[in-house]
Amino acid sequence: MRKVSLVLAGAIAGAGLTGLATQTGLLSSTSAVAASAEVYRSLNLFGDIFEKIRTDYVEKPDEQKLIEAAINGMVSSLDPHSAFLDAKSFRDMDIDMRGQFGGLGIEVTMEDGVLKVAKPIRDTPAAKAGILAGDIIRQIDGDEVKGLSLNQAVEKMRGIINTQVKLKIERAKSEPLEFTLTRSNIVVPAVEERAEGDVGYIRIGTFSEQTYEGLRKGIEKLNAEIGADKLKGYIIDLRNNRGGRLDQSVLVSDAFLERGKIVSTRGRNAEETQVFNAKSGDLTKGKPVVVLINGSSASAAEIVAGALQDHKRATVMGSRSFGKGSVQTVIRLGDQGGLRLTTARYYTPSGNSIQAKGITPDIEIIQDVPAELKDKVENKGEASLKGHLRSGDGKEEQSGSASYVPADASKDTQLIAALNLLRGVKKDTAAAAPNAPAQTPEAPKADAAPSEAPKPN
């Protein structure tokens, strides 16, 4: 088996391995030698052009930027998920994968250039200081937020633990407020749970290092809170989950399965095929499970939905998922950053490719979108991305679906249908027949809202 530094199954995801493979096969055929010669002639051409720009361009160019631009151009020509990561981007990705960093504990969004608090994370400096959802951050350490991107604003708030940050905040019906916060180690909860009466609701927001452990604790907490004899089942909400680590998606799937294949990955060479199987032990003790997905459920989230659907362990509800069925390997390049390279497609236990098709729910529920958001909600899936990989099985590609989820649970058609299904309420589930929109009716995330996806800091 080839060894690599990090294997990704999501938009930014991976399973940690070590090392890097090298290929030592000799070019033996005449055609191979000719092809190799042509490649080296092209590389010489690149060198000639680089030298000409370096010496004769009207202004002295930044040579490092020229090289990075050339690398980015080469890698971006492959597919939408392969990329060269400079040192900073590599560090940011590592932070996202670990799910913890030095910061304040605020999830923020950028809406029309305005930095808004989506929510403070409990038991963090922000929550303890009294920062509230809906607060608008106008200044960070005396600098205006206006003109900054979401990532730039988040970067200014993150930093070394025990250092301070000053925020100027605008709050409705209040004079401007100023907070001085001390950064601490922030662990972003990948899993959030709550009791919905006699049903356990578990939202998995991302697949980071924290996910499986968060799921295990969430199941234990709900089982104790509701009572094993009263608990009707579990809703696993994967809506707007853009993916994450491959190993965590395998562990989450395994949490509900006793045996069988979870997912397989197939690369360019047959010997690189990997199969991940479940081990004995269902954390829910066989309780019914409903998995919710939508157009922004991608990659690692699709692995879980596909595995539980194929094994008939869960009923998948919602709308068609994104369709990212490829695996990325991240190769560290010393202190220069890393290369995120698509190295395999993955397949559900039944052998279906998700790539550019997504997961079709067992019961399709179309969520109503408010009139003011309809022109801002896009139904783009993997198949709409320029340069995307083909499915690999020759089957027809499928478009994506909407990814709007209402903040008001009473208007969440998909959640209501899932609760009714687990409780056996036939009068409501009748409207949720397969492939038929429901007749009755978490904050917008990803491409489902007029703002960028909430980002913790």
Q: Give me the active site residues, please.
A: 299, 310, 324
Tell whether the torsion through CA atoms of 244, 76, 380 and 349 is positive or negative: negative
| Cα angle for residues 92, 144, 103 (degrees, 5° grid) | 35
- Per the CB < 8 A criterion, the answer to whether 223 and 232 are in contact is no
